[in-house]
Amino acid sequence: MRLRDKHGRDITDLRVSITDRCNYKCVYCRTGNEGAVYSELPFADYLRMVRIFVGQGIEKVRLTGGEPLLRGGIVEFVRSIAQLRTLSGETPDIAVTTNGHLLAEMAQPLKDAGLKRATISMDAVDAEKFARITRVANGYDNVLAGIRAAKRAGLEPVKVNCVLLRGFNEDQIMEFARFSREEGVVVRFIEFMPLEEDRVWTKEIVVTMDEILEKLNQFRPVRQLPNTPSETARRYTFDDGLGEIGIIAPVSHPFCGHCSRVRLTSDGKIRTCLFSLFDHDLAGRMHQGADDSALAEYIHSVIGQKEVRHHIGEPGFVKPSRSMVHIGG
């Protein structure tokens, strides 16, 4: 039986965080303070959980974190996931979300192991602004090299994620439009969500979809491209068809009604929504000796409880019990 929640949404997309460590400290994500406690499981544990999920109808597996490329052994892990078969007998669609810092060396081995696509986060096409946001000096060149290596390796479409923050990088919209056209990558602007470790989110910092579209149109007229319903981004190109921009607008234009995602945290807990107030301890049950069918049954019961939508910006909004870096974006 496939995974379906009680609101009738089919769940086909699993995001697995394989570490909550990160070598960046992006201002909208992590705290600048030291001393956080991290958690990781052996790859064999993730693999067993992924296998059970895939056996229940998951078709896409995205590895994330934290920074997934910090985990030695990720290439072998990808190779093992590529051996699994979905319910329709296909190889799962395996993707990674990474800050790209270590990707230049790893893109080709990951591709050879079975990785299909890469999404790379880059919040400015300007080395100084990039350093101010990531709080890491000299990262920009590495990330650019990582993006180019992903292109060369054929991890297509290469997507570049940019979280826009007023006061930091809202002036980068046109620069990224140029970047998409010149580098042949999809650039996706993401509205800032209240999921950061340091509680700095306000509505005012969010650069909304309407503002982004206005700026893009000043650069060149944009036209919308078709979407699949569960796609998070609304897709656009320019009047001459060169370049692709996605806008992910969970704050101003929520898309929960078509959500097909479930997340597994690096300590093996299921999260049914980024904004869940609860975790569901799959790894705990596994470590207590539950067999595959008991774990599959548990996954179904948890998916059944998936939240209908998030409540960002509404009165009484309660921040989730974990921040993005500890959930897996």
Rule CB under 6 A: say whether 193 interacts with ligand SAM: yes
Enter the tokens of residue 238. Answer: 């320019």
Rule CB under 6 A: say whether 260 interacts with ligand SAM: no
| Phi, psi values for residue 295, rounded to 5° | -70, -40
Closest residue to ligand SAM, judged by C-beta, is 329
Of the two residues 124 and 295, which places its CB atom closer to ligand SAM in the complex? 124
- % helix / strand / coil in the chain, to the nearest 5? 35, 20, 50
Rule CB under 6 A: say whether 172 interacts with ligand SAM: no
Rule CB under 6 A: say whether 61 interacts with ligand SAM: no
Tell me the torsion sign for CA atoms 219, 143, 40, 135: negative
Enter the tokens of residue 229. Answer: 């319903």
Q: How far apart are CA 316 and CA 308, in angstroms?
A: 16
At its nearest, how many Å lie between ligand SAM and the CB of residue 169? 11
Q: Choose the stretch contacting ligand SAM; rule: CB under 6 A; options: 1-9, 21-29, 75-83, 177-185.
A: 21-29
Q: How far apart are CA 164 and CA 195, in angstroms?
A: 14
At its nearest, how many Å lie between ligand SAM and the CB of residue 108? 19
CB 272 within 8 Å of CB 305: yes
At its nearest, how many Å lie between ligand SAM and the CB of residue 26? 6
Q: Choose the stretch contacting ligand SAM; rule: CB under 6 A; options: 74-82, 93-101, 152-160, 286-294.
A: 93-101
Q: Which residues contact 90 (CB under 8 A, 6 or more apart)?
A: 59
Question: Which of 161, 172, 180, 208 contacts ligand SAM by CB under 6 A?
Answer: 161
Q: How far apart are CA 319 and CA 276, in angstroms?
A: 9
At its nearest, how many Å lie between ligand SAM and the CB of residue 322? 11
Residues contributing to the site for ligand SAM (CB under 6 A): 22, 28-29, 64-65, 67, 97-99, 121, 161, 163, 190, 192-193, 195-196, 324-325, 329
